[in-house]
Homo-oligomer: A and B are copies of this chain.
Amino acid sequence: MAQADVAEPTKLGRRRDPARDEVILEAALDELVESGYEGMTIDMVAARAKAGKATVYRRWPSKADLVIDAVACMKRRNLDPDDLPDTGTLRGDLIAMIKPPTIRDSERKLALMAGIASMLVRNPELADTARAALIEPRAAINRVLFQRAIDRGEISSSVDIEQLSIIGPALAAYRTLVLHQPVDREFLIANIDQVILPAAGLGVRS
């Protein structure tokens, strides 16, 4: 979608190093997380990547294209929904997803979403990319967990999996971005026990 590239030449010369792409995209992501779309400058991205500004523009035609590629490359970091630990219970599976690396990754994603939020309305391609790279992978994991619970007869097959899959991400995003409070283990467990499981029909009567 971005890379301005060319037909294979017949001969000669030093080749463009694809590894630099990764470094630059990573620098762009750091800038987006720290400063947001409008706060990020190409000069700062280049400096952080120890690259020249011209090198950046040799690889992406504009700032918008660089940002789209940077957001898109977050997709590779997600774990495979077909390869999740199975604890035997829905609650166990949900709790098993709470790990410090996962929380940190989630915080980074949310800061990134906040940084590009005002662009999402005006740049549909960026909006689609962000959903595909940041939102959908986590929802896919939740869908698998809830489908398992249905398959093993733990919860009713009439629940709305799509709705259930979204509760956790929505509460975490709201707490971080709007309330500006930390998303820690305690908060996540409270969400599971007091909101998600009751919504799945596994109420723990008090």
Contact = CB atoms under 8 A, between A and B. Distances in A.
B163 A174 contact: no
A36 B118 CA distance: 6
Contacts of A120: 114, 177, 180
Contacts of A36: 118, 121
Of A37, A115, A117, A201, most B-chain CB atoms within 10 Å: A117
A97 to B, nearest CB: 18
Nearest to A127: B180
A194 B114 contact: no
Nearest to A119: B36
A174 B114 CA distance: 12
B190 A135 contact: no
Interface stretch (A4-12, A78-86, A165-173): A165-173
A23 interface: no
Given A166-B171, A201-B206, A160 B194 contact: yes
Interface of A: 36-39, 111, 113-118, 120-122, 127, 131, 135, 156, 158-160, 163, 166-167, 169-171, 173-175, 177-180, 190-191, 194-195, 198-199, 201, 203, 205-206
12 contacts: A113-B178, A120-B177, A159-B194, A169-B178, A170-B173, A170-B174, A170-B175, A195-B199, A198-B198, A198-B199, A198-B201, A201-B206
